[in-house]
A and B are shown apart, each in its own frame.
Chain A
C-alpha cells in the first residue's frame, strides 16, 4: 500500500472529506487547514505499514491528523499557547441552556474557527473527540486546570455568539 498509488487514491477518496472536515475545525484559516491536510495524509501513507489492524482504520488516521494539527498549532504559537490556568472564581461560567435555533453547519464551523487557537483545540478534543480533561492535558502537555479553563472560556464565547443570533432573530 505504501507505494501503491491506486490504493492510496482509494483511501483518499473514501476518507478525505471527514479528515478535511477535522482540519477545518482545528485550523483558523483554510490555507493552513489545506497544508496540514496534505502533510498529514502524506504521513498516513508513509506510515500505513505500521497500522496493525487494531481499532478502526479511520480512528488511526484521525489520530495522525489530530497529532499533526496539534503539532502545527504548537509550532505556530508556542509562546502563548495554553498558558492560562483555570481559576474557578473567574473561569466558572454558568452554562445557560439555549433555546433551539436551527443553525447551519457552516455557521457553526465559523464560530469554532473564530475561537482562539488554544480554546478551539481543547473544545474540539473535548466535544468532538470525547477526550477527558486528563487525556487532553497529557496530549497538550498542559495541566488539567488549564484544559478546563480553556473549555469553559470557549463555551462562553460560543454561548455569546449563539445568543447574539437569537437576539438578532427575535429583534
Chain B
C-alpha cells in the first residue's frame, strides 16, 4: 500500500470549502447597514473642545482682569518713555531722542479698575388530547392571532404547538382532522424586526391534515422578516395540505428570509405544499414519505414592488413515494424592481436550485422550470388551489414566456460579462477598466486627503537680538495659543494647510524706571515731558511716566520708582503652510512644516507691575511672519491622531518703532482627524 506523510493526507483539505448557511449573509447585511460607531470620535472631539475651552477661558478672564482703570480717563492717558537702544549714553537731554518726543495732554489716573392578547381557540371532541400552546407577542398595537383547532380526532391525538411570535399580524392556523392516531408537531417561529411604517404585514401558516390513518406530520417553518421601512402588504404564507389515506409521513421544513429594507410593496413569499390522495381512485396508497426542504431567500433593498416568490408542490400520486425536494430560491434585488416573480412548481420529485436575479446578478446554476414564467400580473397575492386545471394555465404561460424569455437572455448576457469580470478580478488579472482605475489610484485612492486639526499649546516669545527697551533688556514672556487648522494631502509626502490661530506675542522688561504722577500733586506728566523733550512716546497712561535709565540719571528725582513692564500683543493669525512627511510607519508619522502667516491685532496691553497702563501705540494692526514646525503624530483610533508640534515663529513687524520680541518658540498639542 502506498505510504504518505501527515501533510500529504491533509493536503486535500487545502482547498476545503463549505457553503455557509444562508442566514449568514443576512447577518452581514445587517452589520453593514449599521451606522458606523462614531462615539469614540465624538469623545475625542469633545475632549478637544473642553481643552480649548479650558485654555481660552483663563485667557479671556485675564484680559478683562488686567484692564484696570476702566472708564474714560484710561483711554486718554498717555505714557511717555524713552527708547534707547544699545545702552547709549546721553549726556545732554536735548540730544537725538528729541525728534520723537511730543507733548501731550495730561490726565489723572484712575488705575483701579399596548399589547392585545392572543386568543387561543380549542374545539375538541371525543378524545383525550394534550395541547401545549406557547405564544409570545412582544409588539404593541397589532393584533396577533394564534388559532389551534382540533376536531374529530378519535384516538390519542397528540398535538404540540410551540410558537414564538414577534410580528405584526401573524396568523397561524393548524387544523388536524383525523380518525386514528394523529400526531402532529408544529413549530413555528416568526421573526419580524420591522421598525417603521409596516402596514399589513402578515405571516400566515396554515397546515391542514385530514387523514384517516396514522398521519404523522412534522412541520417546521421559520419566517424571518427584517424589513425596516415602509413595508406594505408584505406577507409570508405557508400552506401545507396533506390529505392522505394511509401513513403519509410528511416533513416540511420551510425557511423564508426576507430582508427587504425600504419601500417594499406587496412582496410575498408563498409556499404551498399539497399532498392529496383519494381512496377510491388509488388503491395502493401506502407509505408516502415526503420530505420537503424549502428555502426562500429574498434580499431586497429598495422600492421592490410586487415581487413574489412562489413555490407550489402538488402531489397526486400515492404509490410508494419517497420524495426529497430541496429547493432554494435566491433573489437578490436592489433598486426599483417591479413585478418580479420567481415561481417554482414541482409536480414531481425534482431537485432544483433556482437563483433568480434581476440586475447584474450572477446566475449560478440557474435552471428554471418551464412553468416559472406564468404570470406578469402586478401584485399577486393569491392562494392558489392545488387542483387547478393545468391546461388553462399553460395557455397563459405560453404568452408570458415569450415576453420573459427575451428579458432573460439579456440578463444572462449581462451576468456572464460580470461573472467574467469577477473571475478576472479574482485571478489578479486587471481588466482595461481596472487598469485605468489603477492609474488613477495613486491620486485618488488616498481616501484620507483632508485632515482637520485642533490644537492648543504654550508659546514663549524670545529676544535673540538683545533688544532693549528703556535701557533694559527685553525678557521672554510665556503665553498660550490655540486654533484650528486644515490640511490637504497633495500626495504621500506633501501637504498644504491653513487655518486660524489665536496667538500672543509678548515681552517683559524688568526694572523700568517710572514716575507716578498720582503721588505727586504738583507735578504732571507734561512737566517731565517739557523737561525731557527727547523722550519718545510709546504708550498711553496719564499717571505714569516711564523713563529710561539715562533719563533717570538726568532727572535725579526722588519720585522715580522701578517696576516690571509686561507687554502683550494678541493676534488672530492665518497661516499658510507646506508640510513634508519625513517619516511614516505604522501609526506614527513625523512631518516638517514651513510657511508664512498674517495676523490681525485683536488685543494690545501694557501692564506695569501687573496693572494695566494702557496700550502700546506703536503696535501694527497687521503683522506678518514665517513659521517652522515639526509635527509628531500618532494614530490612536481609526482616523484620529494625536500630535505634538514644536514650532518656531518669527514676527517681522510687531511694532513700528519700538523693539519687541520677534521670535516665538511654541509647543502645541492637538487632535487630528483625517477624512
Residues of A within 8 A of B (CB): 5-18, 20-21, 24-25, 34, 37-39, 41-42, 45-46, 49-50, 52-53, 55-59, 95, 97-100, 103, 105, 108-109, 112, 127-128, 155, 158-159, 162
Contact = CB atoms under 8 A, between A and B. Distances in A.
Contacts of A57: 425-426, 428
Interface stretch (B26-34, B455-463, B472-480): B26-34
Contacts of B441: 52-53
A6 B360 contact: yes
A53 B438 contact: yes
Contact of A112 (B5, B10, B430, B447): B10
B361 A9 contact: yes
B340 to A, nearest CB: 14
Q: Which 5 A-B pairs have the closest CB atoms?
A: A17-B17, A97-B3, A20-B20, A21-B17, A56-B428
15 contacts: A5-B301, A6-B360, A9-B25, A12-B28, A13-B362, A17-B20, A18-B17, A25-B16, A38-B28, A39-B31, A45-B28, A45-B32, A46-B32, A105-B13, A127-B11
Given A25-B13, A25-B16, A98-B9, A6 B1 contact: no
Given A20-B19, A105-B16, A158-B10, 14 more contacts: A5-B29, A10-B360, A11-B422, A12-B28, A14-B426, A16-B24, A52-B445, A56-B427, A95-B5, A98-B3, A99-B2, A99-B3, A108-B13, A159-B6
A46 B37 CA distance: 13
B409 interface: no
A100 B19 contact: no
Contact of B361 (A6, A20, A99, A100): A6
B13 A38 contact: no
A39 B1 CA distance: 45
Nearest to A61: B426
Given A6-B361, A38-B31, A58-B426, A108 B20 contact: no
A128 B445 CA distance: 32
A45 B33 CA distance: 11
A135 B94 CA distance: 86
Contacts, number: 136
Interface residues of B, number: 49
A103 B428 CA distance: 34
Contacts of B434: 53
A81 to B, nearest CB: 22
Contacts of A112: 10, 13
Contacts of A53: 428, 430, 434, 437-438, 441
A17 B18 contact: yes
B302 to A, nearest CB: 9
Contact of A17 (B19, B27, B28): B19
Contacts of B130: none
A87 B654 CA distance: 73
